[in-house]
Each structure stands twice: as structure tokens, then as C-alpha cells.
Chain A
């Protein structure tokens, strides 16, 4: 069983819609959770961190965490073509390492 699972996509949404990206993890002691955005040919860029159950909002991005269900999600409101990228979910279990999912490719069409 993979430790961090994401649907590879592509997830296609029209411009202006809400994109919903999901991630599940297997280790119940996981403590901190991250979303990275990676454009094609570029390196991952940290866009959101979340540590407590509930929602965390930053601009058009909202991260949601449910530790009981071992589920993390990222909502992107008012999606723009420039949001088209691969989104990586990463989980930290209390040590220095992060475990990454393989990413969900998001395509936002004009």
C-alpha cells in the first residue's frame, strides 16, 4: 500500500471553476501536511501547509485536513489557466523526511 495516494488525473476544469484535489495517507501518526505545485520541467513549489483538522485558507487556495479519515484536500477557487500544473501532496510523520504522493495533474481550460 502506497503511503500517500493521489489520483494521477488529469483533472480538467474550466476557467473560473473550483478545482478539488485529494490525497489520502496511511500513517496515522502523520503530523504535518503540505501541498506543492510543480509546473512542467520545473521544481516543486510549496503553496500550502496544514497541521490541524479543518480548513486553512490562503487567497484562492484552501487546504482541508481530516486526520480521522486520513484525508487532505486542496481547493482552488476561480481556477485560472496558470494553475495548470501537477500538485503534489506531502506528509510528515514527525521525522525530517516528507513522503510525497505521485501528484495530480490539473488542466484548466480557458
Chain B
């Protein structure tokens, strides 16, 4: 079974704090992702990484940075937390496979971190 874990289920931080969210996967997946999910807005991609030390911006990278020093670990950093970053943060990983002659990137999610910034 694919196992994606996140460092915290619930986190409360104050405005201006630097916040680290960690994600670890144990399936040797190449790709890792950070999303945030808000009611009515669905899943929005913040950043993703397709290899160690490689990163790509997603749809909403502003106010966030990421780090991938090891293949199994992908960290999301909120440089200076703000109240509008209160959200559910979801990490996912994926592996490129060939299915029915099609390249497939099934993503598997961690349990999520509900972050509240006060």
C-alpha cells in the first residue's frame, strides 16, 4: 500500500510565524505535490516536484516555498503566515506508470494538515 504521511493533522500558528509542513512517502515515487483545499474552491496546486531538488510552481505559489532534499520528503514552507493561509493542506505523491498504453500518474494523498493562522 502507498503510504503518504504528513507531520501534523492540526496546527495553529500566529500571523507572521514561519511554518513548516512536512510530507513523507514510502513508495519511491518521483513526483510529489502540495495542494490546499478550501470550501467552494476545490483543490488548488501550490507547488510540485518531479525529482530531488526540482520544483515547479503550481497555480497559487505566492507566499509559499518548498524543499525537496530527499526523494521521499517534500516540505512546504509558509515564510510569514497570514490569516488567508488558513486552510487544509494536502500532500500527494505519484509514480509514472503505463496503463492500457497510456501514461498514468495516479496520485495518492496524505491525511492532510488543517492549519489555522490567528
Contacts and interface: CB of A to CB of B under 8 A. Distances in A.
Nearest to B32: A96
A103 B45 contact: no
Contacts of B104: 31-32, 49, 51, 92
Contact of B106 (A42, A49, A97, A100): A49
Contacts of B42: 88, 100-103
Interface in A57-110: 88, 90, 92, 94-98, 100-103
B103 A42 contact: no
Nearest to B45: A97
A88 B43 contact: yes
B102 interface: yes
A92 B96 CA distance: 11
A66 to B, nearest CB: 16
A94 B103 contact: yes
Contacts, number: 63
A46 B106 contact: yes
Nearest to A94: B103
Contacts of A97: 33, 45, 48, 58, 105
Q: Does more than half of chain B's interface fall in helix, strand or loop, or is it mixed?
A: strand
A44 B104 CA distance: 18
Contact of A96 (B41, B90, B94, B110): B94
Task: Kindly name the residue among A42, A88, A100 whose own CB sees the greatest number of chain B CB atoms within 10 A.
Answer: A100
A45 B50 contact: no
Contacts of B41: 102
Nearest to B111: A43
Given A43-B90, A46-B108, A100-B42, A32 B48 contact: no
Interface string B93-107: 010100111111111
Interface of B: 30-31, 33, 40-43, 45, 48, 50, 58, 90, 94, 96, 99-112
Interface of A: 31-32, 34, 42-46, 49, 51-52, 88, 90, 92, 94-98, 100-103
